[in-house]
Structure 1
Amino acid sequence: MGSPERELCPPPSEEDELTLPRASINKMIKELVPSVRVAFESRELILNCCTEFIHLISSEANEVCNQSNKKTINAEHVLTALDKLGFSDYTVEAEAVLKDCKAVAAKRRRQSTRLENLGIPEEELLRQQQELFAKNKLSKNNSNGYYCSNRVLWGLKVLHKHIYHHWFQNKMMKMMTTHS
């Protein structure tokens, strides 16, 4: 006979890949009902219900998407699926979450363009990146180990991100102009 721990928490199977993380479900339960103890079987049931709900909404949203001859499920498809399945009570809250997500995405986009707003030419950025690489190599040689200060590492990451972003934009523009 196996240990009680093994029986309560069987090893993950392929089926578990299609469920929500147990830690997330446990956290939500604890936040919603902090003074109530919830049995393991009840937690598993909640997990399965949440997973099934997501599958149901996703399947219906996929149908809505296909009916509108689209290839990507968007927020409108999900909201329509909620209505069609009789969950219209959730629509207002879902729209509020969507609005919050859009605000966070917009904030990230604004932050990602800060370097672009500096007006530093790509050649200068490449020169600065090479200088940071050289500094890092010099630091590594002096310390007889792999040393990279946080400042140098941060600079390399930021420059790499900006250069890649700039390269990607140029590549996309070339593709768009050649296909037009």
Structure 2
Amino acid sequence: MRVLGIDPGLRRTGYGVIDVRGAHLAYVASGTIVVPADQPLAQRLKVILDNIREVVQATEPSVSALEKVFVNTNPSSTLLLGQARGAAMCALADSMLDVHEYTALQIKKSVVGNGHAAKEQVQKMVQHLLGLSGLPAADSADALACAICHAHFHPLARRLQATGLIATGGGRVRGGRLLD
């Protein structure tokens, strides 16, 4: 399975791609989409949409994972972040990828073991888990962590769903429609 993780942001959107074979994780690609702040909002969202489409075409993931957004103290910032996240989700859905969503707490707990880990801890664990020679940039590390979280969570969720103990969840989207 090849997983594309996305850490959405209106200024900087991180992406990270990993291959998962059983318990083995392998780094494929990562980077940051830097969105020009001097453009109108619609054009900034289009930058995110177009660049994620390019990443999907270049890396051919089989599934995607996206960080969920929570309400911050500033409702305006939360709304803008939600719009960036929506542009990312549209690019993924348009590419016919299942979209799985995880909270920052779930991602950090899955990668570091502590849901309140600092960004530096996430970066170091991503470097360690993927055997990277250097520390990944913060936005890339967060996106790679999101992909790793899905790699850890996905097998368990499939087993639980097969037993009927849990219903599908996580807001998966395929072909423009919400699956669960």
TM-score using structure 2 length:
0.19
Greater C-alpha Rg:
1
Higher helix proportion (structure 1 or 2): 1
Give the TM-score normalised by the residue count of structure 1: 0.19
- Between Structure 1 and Structure 2, which shows a larger proportion of strand residues? 2
Higher relative contact order (CA 8 A, sep 6+): 2
